[in-house]
Amino acid sequence: MDEAEDVTAVIGVQNAYAVAIDTHDWPALRACFADDASIGFGRPARTGGPDEFLEWAPAFHEALGPTLHQNSSHRVRIDGDAATATAYLHAVLVDADGAGATSIFGRYDDELVRAGAGWLIRRRRFTATWRTRTAPLPASPEGAR
């Protein structure tokens, strides 16, 4: 792979993580991480390996309504078989009853390792910068746009 392909592949792993969370595809989520990975985020802060992360993350996300994790402003640096990557996050976590939602803004700081023809996250830290609650929009009057 040349550097541009590596950068694209690293961003692909970050985006695969977001899609796996939102679709509750836990095997795909696990496949984003190296076996010796360290993952840290949440309140209170939780740090552990991928298997420990998967002990609590599915139950947390499955108790919600729809979620939407959006990554942007990717910055990737490749150094041989290692990479560092930063991405901004805006996640919307809808309550199970649809009565409201939490929006979370923050940053993922990742360290990745080349694995075969691709990349895996070896260390992920999430830093939240803003969190807010919203209510659903009121129903529109009939015929209103």
User: Which residues, listed in sequence order, are joined to residue 83 by a DSSP beta bridge?
Assistant: 78, 112
Asked if residues 119 and 85 have their Cβ atoms less than 8 Å apart, the reply is no
The per-residue pLDDT string of the chain (145 residues; one tens digit each, 9 = 90 and over) reads 799 999 999 999 999 999 999 999 999 999 999 999 999 876 666 788 999 989 988 999 999 999 999 999 999 999 999 999 999 999 999 999 999 999 999 999 999 999 988 999 999 999 999 999 988 777 777 765 5
Burial of 110: CB neighbours in 10 Å, binned 0-12, 13-18, 19+: buried
pTM over 0.75: yes
**Which residue type occupies 55?**
E
CATH 3.90.180.10 fits 3-134, yes or no: no
User: Can you give the C-alpha Rg of the chain in angstroms?
Assistant: 17
Is the backbone peptide bond immediately before 27 cis, with ω within 30 degrees of 0? no
Longest Cα–Cα distance of the chain, Å, equals: 60
